[in-house]
Structure formats: C-alpha cells, structure tokens
Structure 1
Amino acid sequence: MTTDHVQRPPAEVRHADELARLRATDDGDRPPGWALSLRAARRFVIGDEKLGVTRKFVGDPSLIDRALVTLATSRGLMLVGEPGTAKSLLSELLAAAVSGTSTLTIQGGAATTEDQIRYSWNYALLVAEGPSPRSLVAAPLLRGMAEGRVVRFEEITRCPLEVQDCLLSPLSDRVLAIPELTGPDAMVFAREGFSVIATANTRDRGVNEMSAALKRRFNFETVFPIADFDTELSLVEAEAAALLKRSGVGAPPRRDVLEVLVRAFRELRQGQTARGDATDRLSGVMSTAEAVSVAHAVGLRGWFLRGEPGTAADLVTCLAGTAAKDSPDDLAKLRRYLERQGSGPLYEARHLLPG
C-alpha cells in the first residue's frame, strides 16, 4: 500500500521507513512471533532521535513498557480512558510494532455480531459444497490467531455482552472452534505472536459492562489526558499542520489561534480557568483529539474561503459544532464562557456563536 490518495494510511505504511530502520538495527531478543524486540517496539512508539524515529504517542513511557510486557504474555491488553486520549492510536502503534500490521481491527458497536469477529461463510460455496475451509471467510480474530498477529478490538463495551464473551476461549485456551468443520480444520490454534488489544472509553464502559470472566483475561491500563499545556499545544499544532497539508492547505495553523483553542478546551474540560476561577464545564468531549479536529476545521475554513490561515472568528464558529454535540445546554455554557472573557479574540468574536 502507498499513501497516494489514501486519507489515513495505517501506521505500518505511514512509518514504514522508521520500522525498517528499527528492524535493521534491532539486536534485542524478541518474544516468539514478534516483528521487533520490546526495546525496539518501545522506541517506535516514544521515539529515538539517533535513529530518526519520531515520537508518536505523548504520554507516560512506563505505560508503553507495561503494555508491551502484557502483549508478550498470554493476557489481552485493555486500554481505557476518556474519549480522545489516543487509545486507538496507541493500539494501532503497538500492533504495527509487534506484528507489522495494524489492520486486523474489529470496530465494536451495537450491531457488531460474532460473525464479524470470528468467521462467516461464503454462502454460494456453502450451498454448493457444504462447510469447507474454502467456503470459510476468516474475520480478524480467526486471522490473527492463524497468522500469529495482534488483533485490535475498538470500543469493546459498545458490543452486547454475549458478543464480547466470544473472546473467552481464544484468550484463555488460545483456540477457536469451528463446529461446522471436521477433522484438523475444526480447531484453529493460536500461533505465537497472537494477542488482543481492546479499547473502551470511560464514558461508555457502563453501556455493556464486561463480564468478570472476560475482565480476568485482560490487563487494564488507563490512558490519561495530557496534563501539560505546552505539550498539548505542541501536539495539536503538529497534528493540525499534518492534516492541513494533506487537505491541500498552503498555510500552517497560526500559533496564537492554537494557543487560544487549547486553553479554551482545557478550561472547558476542567471547569476551571488558568487563573483558578470556576467556569462551566461542558458535558461534551473536549479532548486533545477534538481540539485537533477543530484546528483542522479552522484552517480549512480560513484557507478555502479567504485564502489565509484561520482566525479566532473561525475558531468561535467551529467551536459551536463541538459544544452542541451532547447537550443543547453546552452551547449556552460556551456562550457564557465567551462572555466572561471580557476581552481577547474569543470575546471579540462571541457574536458569531449561533443561537
């Protein structure tokens, strides 16, 4: 796969050069079935300036260490945290480092079925020949077990409980039964390198709580929001600049506008201003990932409508769509927040907030 005309190539394609350099210089011991050693996989995620490997995840390096050790064991890895804390990105990076591919992905949801997780059938062949390996259509879990690769299960708690529990046997006995087949084909045994990385955001965990039996087969790791303002600002700037470049925008985002954006997101997320004053806390998701999305929209709006980088006025307009997602009351809270600024670019553009 190339990156031409692909909106978002997988991590192993985006960072193919870095993975190649890490493999070429990797002299560490590798767990069975792994593409890289633990040390090299760690460098892929948190960066290595000497090798020209960029830092891809902003967070506690010890989290990466614990996650990699978990994947080297027979337990699954569960990443939990607030929405927008880069759980999916981390699972993608870990899968690319460990298996060389991150595309064996299951997207959890209310409509997700066991067929989409384990396997299904080519019904034309099934009718013509009956159950056979040729008519079997492997889903990500079966492929991951047969090929010895990491399987990603996004938003697992959005799936019904009985669907989640189809992971029990693969995670405990490392085997997947196919009762429609006979002989050796009726059992798929996991090859070395197979593991499961699941994600769940803390706001949705109560939608379909995991069974105690399934929880015991995972090690839980919490991914926290970025605590430092400058770190979050740098991340938003880098990610927004990359997105704008891919979108054909000829100007990088303005640093002063991004500072206003990140500060507003942090204050609305925490319910407290930088001066320590209490402010309304929005019920919607005001995460770093959402801030990147708003910064992207601001840049697109400014460039394609006026041929210039986005301004604070564009920021106020784009913030409205973010604030009104979960509750109509959030738009009123955002309006009060802008009014309380008293001065500054957000205050001057407050009249652009709809409603």
Structure 2
Amino acid sequence: MTVSVQTDAAGGEALRPHAEHAFADELKALAAADDRPRPARWKLSPWAVSTYLLGGTLPDGTLITPKYVGPRRLVEVAVTTLATDRALLLLGVPGTAKTWVSEHLAAAVSGDSTLLVQGTAGTPEEAVRYGWNYAQLLAQGPSREALVPSPVMRAMAEGMTARVEELTRIPADVQDALITILSEKTLPVPELGQEVQAVRGFNLVATANDRDRGVNELSSALRRRFNTVVLPLPATPEAEVDIVSRRVAQIGRSLDLPPAPDGMTEIRRVVTVFRELRDGITTDGRTKLKSPSGTLSTAEAISVVTGGLALAAHFGDGVLRPGDVAAGIRGAVVRDPTADRVVWQEYVETVVRERDGWKDFYRACREAAE
C-alpha cells in the first residue's frame, strides 16, 4: 500500500516532497489556465505538461519555474510519446536529469509520481508484475485479496503513469516481464485464471544509461516497445551553471541553508572544472587533459556545491569560498585512488595554478590534498 503523506513521524515537513506536492501551486494554476484537449485521465494537456517542465508565464501572471533546462523539442517528444500507446525510455549518461524528468512527467500527467519500480541487480519479477501476501495465500489459497499489485499493475488498473528507474540494472529476465505489458497492454495472473487490462491513460516511463557499471543490455524485443529520448549533458557552460544554481537553491531551502552571497563565482568554478575534465580539454582549447574515471555529471556538481554551502553555513561565515568546494571537487574526481589522483594533480598544477584569478582555489586544492 502506498501512503502519500508528506510529513515525517514527528509531524514535520518531508525532507524531499514528491513533485506533485512540492509544486502543487504551479500544477493547480496550470490546470486552471489549461483549456486545451487532454488525453484520457490526464490532469493536464500535453501543452501544459511541457510548460510545467520547461517553465513559462501564464496569462494571469503566474510564473512556472523550469524543471528541466534543455532542448524544448526533446520535452515535447517525450510528452507526446506518453499520449500515444508507446512507452517512453529516457536514455542518457548519469546526471542528465533522467529521474528528475520522469518524476515531473508523472506528476504533471497523472498527479502521482509514486508508482515507482526502482531498478537494481536484485529487483525481482514481483516488483514489475505482482506478489502475494503469503499469510493470506497459505490460509485461503490464491485470491484477489492475497494478491499484492506492483506499481505497474496499479498504474494499468487506474490509467496512470508508472515509472521504472534504472531499467538496465534490472536482470534481463525481469526486464522481459514488461514485454507483454507494453505490447498487449495486459498482465496475466495465471494463478487466478484472470488478467489485468490497462485502461486508457496508462503508460510507462523508464530511465536507463549504458555507461554505468552493472548494466544489463535491453533486448531488441523490449527496445521496440519504447520510444527512446536521449537526454544530453548541458550544451553550454551557461546552461549548466543555470541548472546547478537553481537546484542548489531549491535543495538549500529544503535544508534551511542560508543563501550564499557571491556563490555564483564558486558555482561557475565547479562547472568549469567538471566540464574541462569531462571534455578532456580546457575551455580555451589550448590544453588537452586526461579525463578521470568518473562521469563528473551535473548532478555531482550540484552535490559538491550543496556540500560547500553547508560547510560555509555551519563552519564558516556563510560566504561560499574556494575552500568550501575544493575537497568536494577532489572527492568527485578521484574515484580511482591511483589513476584519478594523477589526473587531478596534473590538472591542478598545469591548469588551476596558471589560471588568472584562481590562486585562492589553487591554495584550497593543495590544502585539500594534504
């Protein structure tokens, strides 16, 4: 049973509210202003869902904050896919906001982002299909009362959007349980001689990447059931700085961290370091660099800056400085203690040391390595 209560045991606010609760005012304003056709059981029209993801200003002046900063056409294709009988696969390297986009899509389309299957190497078939209450099963035998529906089964029965995170981490035989669901839109329950048929409004959003460890390739049969949208890394430094600053501000508010004066300087610095090491070349194109083993994603940049903000708030004067982010950057870069340490040391000595205006950051990096 899913309990959608956005408070903790002591009655306080949830640390991370679901999207439909965190942005309830925006969704309500969009629904009120939305006069376009809506697919069956959708809370908003495709146009309104795209506006919710990309941001905009409504006729009454309500500001809709961007949830995703990226190509508009990708979002429009993703939303349109959910309005058809094709499932949606969001593909990209780690840190390209796949989970973030899938959650907000489900929140805007169905008003509920909690029908979620989290993929891991140990995800059983029951998580995708259904399980059993074994006490009732032993006492009464197979029955509808003893059956425990999966989030996917619930979404089928209620005409809602289900989510499968990290699809390629799920074992191949469990992945294939989705084939009948996505092609026939039905889920057989042979123990009861019954089946659950998907009602209009049902669809599924899955996320996957093929650059992480522990990946199980999707079969061609399963891939054909999805329309794939590839989410790219931010195209420009400015776009990535915008994403990082927005998310850090949101996370900081949820953690009651004070805004950091002049924090943009260090955010730009973190983004610059990550992009240069990720691309294997400095921003000016003059120096080729070795890339570390990690992905250095935008999500990791957000984590580094958030950690630095907490350090500045609790152990500093509240101003985000190079020393607050240097250790976090080093920790993100040096994943392999041997090879990555060399990559980082070379970058610090050949790039950071010689860059104008980065002397304070150079000193902080040297101190963090001691």
> Does the TM-score normalized on the shorter chain lie above 0.5?
yes
> Relative to structure 2, which stretch is displaced further, 193-202 or 321-330?
321-330
**Contact 1:158/1:204 (<8 A) preserved:** no
Q: What are the superposed Cα offsets for residues 315-349 of structure 1, whole Å, 9 maximum, x if unpaired? A: 11111221223564112211211111224132222
> Paired residue for 1:268?
277
Match of 1:332 among 342, 355, 358: 342
> Paired residue for 1:54?
65
**Contact 1:339/1:350 (<8 A) preserved:** no
Q: 5 Å matches for 1:52-91?
A: 52-91=63-102
> Relative to structure 2, which stretch is displaced further, 120-129 or 323-332?
323-332
Match of 2:108 among 97, 110, 131: 97
Report the alpha carbon displacement of residue 38 of structure 1 after superposing the two structures with TM.
0.9
Distance 1:280 1:205 in 2: 21
Match of 1:45 among 32, 50, 53: 53
- In the superposition, relative to structure 1, how do residues 108 and 78 fare at CA in structure 2: closer, same or farther (>3 Å)? same
> Paired residue for 1:109?
120
> Paired residue for 1:244?
252
Distance 2:336 2:77 in 1: 34
> Paired residue for 1:281?
291
**Which letter maps to 1:283?**
S
Report the alpha carbon displacement of residue 251 of structure 1 after superposing the two structures with TM.
3.4
User: Residue 270 of structure 2 aligns to a residue in which SS?
Assistant: helix
Q: Percent identity?
A: 41
**Contact 1:83/1:285 (<8 A) preserved:** yes
- In the superposition, relative to structure 1, how do residues 138 and 22 fare at CA in structure 2: closer, same or farther (>3 Å)? same
- The answer for unaligned runs of 5 or more in structure 1 is none
- In the superposition, relative to structure 1, how do residues 76 and 198 fare at CA in structure 2: closer, same or farther (>3 Å)? same
> Paired residue for 2:226?
218
Distance 2:297 2:28 in 1: 33
**Which letter maps to 1:170?**
I
> Relative to structure 2, which stretch is displaced further, 56-65 or 274-283?
274-283
> Paired residue for 1:353?
368
**Contact 1:34/1:98 (<8 A) preserved:** yes
Report the alpha carbon displacement of residue 310 of structure 1 after superposing the two structures with TM.
3.0
Query: Number of aligned pairs?
Result: 352
TM-score, normalised on structure 1? 0.95
Report the alpha carbon displacement of residue 205 of structure 1 after superposing the two structures with TM.
8.4
Distance 1:26 1:237 in 2: 30
**Contact 1:35/1:97 (<8 A) preserved:** yes
TM-score, normalised on structure 2? 0.91
User: Residue 120 of structure 1 aligns to a residue in which SS?
Assistant: strand
Distance 2:313 2:256 in 1: 9
**Contact 2:260/2:320 (<8 A) preserved:** no
User: Residue 64 of structure 2 aligns to a residue in which SS?
Assistant: coil
Distance 2:147 2:257 in 1: 46
Report the alpha carbon displacement of residue 39 of structure 1 after superposing the two structures with TM.
0.8
- The answer for unaligned runs of 5 or more in structure 2 is none
Q: What are the superposed Cα offsets for residues 16-39 of structure 1, whole Å, 9 maximum, x if unpaired? A: 111111111211111122111111
Report the alpha carbon displacement of residue 267 of structure 1 after superposing the two structures with TM.
0.6
User: Residue 39 of structure 1 aligns to a residue in which SS?
Assistant: helix
Which segments of structure 1 move beyond 6 Å, counting only runs of 4 or more? none
**Which letter maps to 2:231?**
V
Q: What are the superposed Cα offsets for residues 33-55 of structure 1, whole Å, 9 maximum, x if unpaired? A: 21111111111111122332111
Q: 5 Å matches for 1:283-298?
A: 283-298=293-308
> Paired residue for 1:161?
172
- In the superposition, relative to structure 1, how do residues 331 and 314 fare at CA in structure 2: closer, same or farther (>3 Å)? farther
Distance 2:260 2:321 in 1: 12
